[in-house]
């Protein structure tokens, strides 16, 4: 993880709270998709849920309608808390930021650009998800061209992780308060 001094809010982690057993989100998901999405531990099995929703656009829309509003509310709460705490920079990391309509929560939108084949290769390698399942997820998302058109910054992510870090640090120096960067990098 690259630490440049910003508070990072991960939409994926926030959505885990929405899914947590005993929550209204958990109840709604089980009500919408049945007991088949419950894992052995009683929590929502995200792999099972993914296999259902990424094979049916109506189910994906249903999932998003249940989860996105709750996730957004929690992100808004965290952003308010960050403002109240005097945080200088906050990054909202959200793969579905644009699809979910959360772009009004942020000042700038940074999008990474990489080929579909690279995405598939990386996800298969890091998560062990079947390539066809990864492609189904990509197909269900907004096109790369539309993401880029809506972005303030497009980051070339075709290289390795070290190259990506250099690019992000460079953009950070240009776009975000330079005092934050100097303080963090000179620790």
**Are the C-beta atoms of residues 82 and 90 closer than 8 Å to each other?**
yes
Q: Where are the alpha helices (DSSP H) in the chain?
A: 11-19, 24-33, 46-53, 57-84, 116-127, 131-140, 144-150, 161-175, 178-185
pLDDT at residue 139, rounded to an integer: 86
Q: What are the sequence ranges of the domains in the chain?
A: 7-185
Give pTM, 2 decimals. 0.84
**Exposure string for 44-60, b = 16+ CB within 10 A, e = fewer:** bbeeebbbbbbeeeeeb
The SS3 assignment for 62 reads: helix
pLDDT at residue 24, rounded to an integer: 94
Percent of the chain with pLDDT over 90: 65
Q: Measured between alpha carbons, how far is 136 from 129 in angstroms, rounded to an integer?
A: 11
7-185: CATH topology is Rossmann fold (3.40.50)
Q: What residue ranges of the chain have pLDDT lower than 50? A: 181, 183-187
The closest of 17, 6, 20 to 74, measured between CA atoms, is 17
pLDDT at residue 2, rounded to an integer: 66
pLDDT at residue 147, rounded to an integer: 93
Take residue 125 and report the two structure tokens written for it: 């390698």
**Exposure string for 90-120, b = 16+ CB within 10 A, e = fewer:** bbbebebbbbbebbebbeebbbbebeeeebb
């Amino acid at each position: 993880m690259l630490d440049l001094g910003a508070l990072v809010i991960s939409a994926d982690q926030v959505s885990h709270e929405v899914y947590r057993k005993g929550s209204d989100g958990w109840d709604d998901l089980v009500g919408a998709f049945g007991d088949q999405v419950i894992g052995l531990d009683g929590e929502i099995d995200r792999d099972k849920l993914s296999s259902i929703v990424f094979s049916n656009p109506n189910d994906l829309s249903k999932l998003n309608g249940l989860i996105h509003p709750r996730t957004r509310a929690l992100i808004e709460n965290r952003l308010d808390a960050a403002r109240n705490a005097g945080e200088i920079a906050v990054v909202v990391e959200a793969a579905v930021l644009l699809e979910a309509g959360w772009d009004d929560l942020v000042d700038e939108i940074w999008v990474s650009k990489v080929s579909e084949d690279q995405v598939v290769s990386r996800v298969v390698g890091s998560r062990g998800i079947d390539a066809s399942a990864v492609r189904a997820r990509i197909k269900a998302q907004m096109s790369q061209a539309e993401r880029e058109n809506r972005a303030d910054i497009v980051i070339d992510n075709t290289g390795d992780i070290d190259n990506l870090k250099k690019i992000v640090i460079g953009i950070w120096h240009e776009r975000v308060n330079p005092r934050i960067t100097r303080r963090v990098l000179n620790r």
